[in-house]
């Protein structure tokens, strides 16, 4: 792997290993799952000191999983288990807001220091059941609250494409690990853009499933009505394969949908000709970087050349999306984070003299500045006298935003937008300006509020070599269509 220089932008790694290629190489005896895992751990050892994507490595569990796959390969059984073990031997990393046996779960926070969960999140368990080799846990903004991965209690993540830049947040470690070829794929979470924005900044594919498509059981909650689990990958096909493994109802999650799971990978082969693509003016307004605008317009031209038709659509309540999101998300965070008090697990302040002082001191020492800010905001909007003015009003605006999308999808099959208004910004550039940081989510929070699916796919680079992502938004539970369109975009880049 080429050396990454801290003061320069680096070219993306050539020919990264895909899920299909990794599995086939193990099945054919060209390599072993153990050797493949060892090669990724060697890359992590060489590259991660500069990037800081990983918080913990689960070598013992990964070795056991890899040996199991190699035993099946040697016996000849692996070749016949393509459907039951689609991820056989594939090295995958897990964002540290998803619990996983054999590794700590910190959610990027000091308050969970030392906590080792006794069970797997459903998404993690499904990867393991499909044969994946789980390499370890990935850095993230504390409790997934952030747009730059600078809020982690364990230090920021650096963008592999430009080490002086942020990788995006909150799933910055997950995006960076794929971009730096330290994993074939990773899991992230997205509450307001935390998969799609880092995918755009790091030049990889990031998929946001429909709310309820993937179980949230075992996810350390930020905002329960907004949180989603989804993959980062090198290719759209890999995202489709992973979604096929992750999707489906779960009796441990009452919000998981009782919806059939199609063969997403097979759906990629269907032509996109005749699909109607909406282009909303609200996402191409003032404040959009000129190079991003040009790249997304070029993407629209590529889809038109593939036989799609483009149509103007209006999402008028987009103007209120960021404000609505930061009322609702902070309100839910205030409630969800009340459980972290030093009583049951994680950090406990030693110098407390009473129960109430133990609560206060533990939470003051354990939570970082951004988490405290959001707890205070959420507590305020839920408080007596302000609930109707803020929280209830935000729920009403959320309904209007959802209606905007439903109206648009009555005329088009998908919507094309930029993923982000700017390219990856420099580390420290926005840390003193929370509002500027929050506005980085302006094009992504709407999908979380409306519950729809979305994907960010690389669509070019800026003049200085920074990645640019195009966002494709789809109807509820229509991931197959946005994957097909993203695949067409991907093909047009080659």
pLDDT at 8: 37
The domain tally of the chain equals: 1
Rounded CA-CA distance 315/401 in Å is: 7
DSSP-derived pairing of the beta strands 309-313 and 228-233? unpaired
pLDDT at 217: 98
Residue 102 belongs to some domain of the structure? yes
Q: Which residues, including other chains, have CB under 8 Å from residue 260's CB and lie 6 or more apart?
A: none
Instruction: Give strand ranges (E) for 215-360.
Output: 228-233, 276-280, 309-313
- Provide the 10 A C-beta neighbour count for residue 324: 22
User: Residue 214 forms beta bridges with which residues?
Assistant: 247
Full-model pTM? 0.96
Residue 340 belongs to some domain of the structure? no
- The CATH number of residue 232's host domain is 3.90.1300.10
Residue 2 belongs to some domain of the structure? no
Q: Tell me, yes or no, if 58 is annotated catalytic.
A: no
Residue 458 belongs to some domain of the structure? no
244, 234, 235, 240: which is closest to 214 by C-alpha? 244
DSSP-derived pairing of the beta strands 228-233 and 205-208? antiparallel
Residue 20, Cβ density class (10 Å: 0-12 exposed, 13-18 middle, ≥19 buried): middle
Domain containing residue 147: 19-272+483-492
The separation between the first and the last C-alpha atoms of the chain, rounded to the nearest angstrom, is 22
Residue 387 belongs to some domain of the structure? no
DSSP-derived pairing of the beta strands 185-190 and 205-208? unpaired
Residue 148 belongs to some domain of the structure? yes
Asked whether 483 and 264 are in contact (CB, 8 A), the reply is: yes
The single residue listed with the structure tokens 């030093």 is: 342
Please report which residue ranges of 306-444 form alpha helices under DSSP H. Answer: 321-336, 355-366, 369-382, 393-409, 434-438
Question: Out of 32, 148, 152, 194, which one is annotated catalytic?
Answer: 194
Question: Out of 32, 58, 95, 256, which one is annotated catalytic?
Answer: 95
Please report which residue ranges of 98-151 form alpha helices under DSSP H. Answer: 122-129
User: Residue 266 forms beta bridges with which residues?
Assistant: none
Question: Out of 32, 58, 147, 170, which one is annotated catalytic?
Answer: 170
pLDDT digits (tens), the chain, 494 positions: 233 233 334 433 447 999 999 999 999 999 999 999 999 999 999 999 999 999 999 999 999 999 999 999 999 999 999 889 999 999 999 999 999 999 999 999 999 999 999 999 999 999 999 999 999 999 999 999 999 999 999 999 999 999 999 999 999 999 999 999 999 999 999 999 999 999 999 999 999 999 999 999 999 999 999 999 999 999 999 999 999 999 999 999 999 999 999 999 999 999 999 999 999 999 999 999 999 999 999 999 999 999 999 999 999 999 999 999 999 999 999 999 999 999 988 999 988 899 999 999 999 999 999 999 999 999 999 999 999 999 999 999 999 999 999 999 999 999 999 999 999 999 999 999 999 999 999 999 999 999 999 999 999 999 999 999 999 999 999 999 999 999 999 999 98
Q: Tell me, yes or no, if 298 is annotated catalytic.
A: no
77, 179, 204, 172: which is closest to 131 by C-alpha? 77
439-476 in b/e form (b: 16+ CB < 10 A) is bbbbbbbbbbbbbbbbbbbbbbbbeeebbbbbbbbbbb
Residue 375 belongs to some domain of the structure? no
Asked whether 448 and 222 are in contact (CB, 8 A), the reply is: no
pLDDT at 494: 84
H or E element at residue 3: none
58-77 in b/e form (b: 16+ CB < 10 A) is beebbbebbebbbebbeeee
Residue 389 belongs to some domain of the structure? no
Q: Tell me, yes or no, if 95 is annotated catalytic.
A: yes
pLDDT at 3: 31
pLDDT at 161: 98
227, 196, 167, 202: which is closest to 417 by C-alpha? 196
């Amino acid at each position: 792997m080429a050396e990454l220089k801290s003061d320069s932008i680096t070219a993306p790694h050539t020919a990264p290993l895909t899920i299909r290629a990794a599995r086939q190489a193990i099945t054919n005896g060209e390599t072993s799952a153990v050797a493949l895992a060892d090669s990724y751990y060697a890359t992590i050892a060489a590259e991660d000191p500069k990037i800081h994507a990983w918080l913990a490595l689960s070598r013992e569990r990964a070795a056991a999983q890899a040996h199991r796959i190699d035993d099946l390969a040697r016996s000849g059984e692996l070749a016949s288990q393509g459907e039951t073990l689609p991820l056989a031997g594939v090295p995958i990393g897990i964002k540290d807001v998803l619990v996983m046996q054999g590794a700590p779960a910190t959610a990027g926070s000091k308050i969970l220091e030392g906590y080792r969960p006794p069970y797997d999140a459903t998404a993690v368990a499904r990867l393991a059941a499909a044969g994946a080799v789980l390499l370890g846990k990935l850095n993230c903004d504390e409790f997934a609250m952030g747009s730059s991965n600078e809020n982690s209690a364990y230090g920021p993540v650096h963008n592999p494409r430009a080490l002086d830049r942020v990788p995006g947040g909150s799933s910055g470690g997950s995006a960076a690990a794929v971009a730096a070829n330290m994993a074939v794929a990773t899991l992230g979470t997205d509450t307001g853009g935390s998969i799609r924005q880092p995918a755009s900044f790091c030049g990889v594919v990031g998929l946001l499933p429909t709310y309820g498509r993937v179980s949230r059981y075992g996810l350390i909650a930020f905002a329960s009505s907004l949180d989603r689990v989804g993959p980062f990958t090198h290719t759209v096909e890999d995202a489709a394969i992973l979604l096929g493994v992750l999707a489906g109802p779960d009796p441990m999650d009452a919000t998981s949908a009782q919806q059939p799971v199609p063969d997403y990978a097979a759906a990629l082969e269907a032509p996109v000709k005749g699909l109607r693509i909406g282009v909303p003016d609200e996402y191409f307004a003032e404040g959009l970087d000129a190079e991003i605008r040009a790249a997304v317009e070029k993407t629209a031209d590529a889809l038109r050349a593939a036989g799609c038709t483009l149509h103007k659509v209006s999402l008028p309540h987009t103007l209120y999306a960021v404000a609505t999101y930061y009322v609702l998300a902070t309100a839910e965070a205030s409630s969800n984070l009340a459980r972290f008090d030093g009583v049951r697990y994680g950090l406990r302040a030693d110098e407390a003299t009473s129960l109430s002082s133990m609560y206060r001191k533990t939470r003051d020492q354990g939570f970082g500045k951004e988490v405290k800010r959001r707890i205070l905001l959420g507590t305020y909007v839920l408080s007596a006298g302000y609930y109707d003015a803020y929280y209830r009003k935000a729920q009403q605006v959320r309904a209007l935003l959802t209606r905007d999308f439903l109206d648009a999808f009555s005329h088009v099959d998908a919507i094309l937008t930029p993923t982000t208004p700017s390219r990856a910004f420099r580390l420290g550039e926005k840390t003193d300006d929370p509002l500027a940081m929050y506005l980085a989510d302006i094009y992504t929070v709407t999908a979380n509020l409306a519950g729809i699916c979305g994907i960010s796919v690389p669509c070019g680079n800026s003049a200085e070599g920074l990645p640019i992502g195009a966002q494709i938004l789809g109807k509820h539970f229509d991931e197959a269509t946005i994957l097909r369109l993203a695949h067409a975009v991907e093909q047009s880049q080659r």
